[in-house]
Amino acid sequence: MKKINTFTLAITCIAVFGMAACSSEPTDMTEAGIIPKPVSVTSSGETFTLSKHTDIFPEEGSEEAARIGQFLADKLNPSTGLGLAVVSGRGKPGRGDILLELAGGDVELGDEGYELTVTARLLKITANTPAGLFYGIQTVRQLLPARVEMADKQEGPWEIPTGTIRDYPVYSYRGAMRDVARHFFGVEDIKTFIDQMAAYKMNVLHMHLSDDQGWRIEIKSWPDLALHGGMTEVGGGEGGFYTQEQYKDIVKYAQDRYITVIPEIDMPGHTNAALASYPELNTEGKSPELYTGIKVGFSTLNTRSETTYKFIDDVIGELASMTPGAYIHIGGDESLVTKHDDYVYFINRVQDIVTAHGKKVLGWDEIALATLKPNTVAQYWARSENAIKCVQQGARVLMSPARFAYLDMKYDSVSTYGLNWAGYIEVDHGYSWDPATLVPEITSENIIGIEAPLWSETVSNLQEAEYLLFPRLLGFAEIGWTPSAMRNWDDYKVRLAGQGKRMKAMGISFYPSTLVNWDHQE
Applying CB under 6 A, which residues contact ligand TNX?
Answer: 296, 333-334, 364, 381, 406, 408, 419, 455, 457
Taking phi over 0 as left and psi of -120 to 50 as alpha, with beta for the rest, 270 belongs to: left
- Which of 25, 334, 451, 464 is the catalytic position? 334
Order across the sheet with 122-127: list the strands: 40-50, 158-167, 114-118, 122-127, 97-102, 55-58, 85-86
Going by their DSSP bridges, the two strands 158-167 and 210-211 should be labelled as unpaired
Between CA 86 and CA 394 the distance in angstroms is 47
Q: Is 426 a residue of the active site?
A: no
Q: Which is nearer to ligand TNX, 195 or 334 (CB)?
A: 334
Q: Which is nearer to ligand TNX, 118 or 362 (CB)?
A: 362
Element (H, E) at 79: helix 63-80
- Smallest gap from Cβ 339 to ligand TNX, in A, equals 19
CB of 459 to ligand TNX, least distance (A): 11
φ, ψ of residue 448 to 5 degrees: the values are: -90, -20
Rounded distance between C-alpha atoms, residue 130 and residue 230, angstroms: 37
* Helix spans in 152-264 (H): 187-199, 224-227, 244-255
Helices (H) and strands (E) in the chain, counts: 15, 17
CB-nearer residue toward ligand TNX: 71 or 417: 417
Q: 187-199 and 244-255 helices cross at what angle (nearest 10)? A: 10
Q: Are strands 377-380 and 260-267 parallel, antiparallel or unpaired?
A: unpaired
CB-nearer residue toward ligand TNX: 145 or 430? 430
Write the single-letter amino acid at 243.
Answer: T
The number of residues in the chain equals 522
CB of 109 to ligand TNX, least distance (A): 35
Least distance from ligand TNX to the Cβ atom of residue 284, Å: 23
68 versus 398: smaller Cβ distance to ligand TNX: 398
* Rg of the chain in Å (alpha carbons): 24
Residue of 215, 208, 217 whose CA lies nearest to 177: 208
Would you give the DSSP letter of residue 31? G
- The Cα–Cα gap between 349 and 373 comes to 11
Q: Minimal distance in Å, beta carbon 114 to ligand TNX?
A: 34
- Report CA-CA distances (Å) from 449 to 46, 104, 181, 229, 443: 37, 25, 24, 33, 11
- Nearer Cβ to ligand TNX, position 124 or 182? 182
CB of 269 to ligand TNX, least distance (A): 9
Task: CB nearer to ligand TNX: give 455 or 481.
Answer: 455
Distances (CA, A) of 366 to 213, 271, 334, 336, 378: 21, 16, 8, 11, 8
Q: How far apart are CA 144 and CA 354, in angstroms?
A: 45
Cβ-based nearer residue to ligand TNX, 179 or 218: 179
- The rounded distance, in Å, linking the Cα atoms of 49 and 312 is 56
d(CA 99, CA 55): 9
> Which of the residues are catalytic?
334
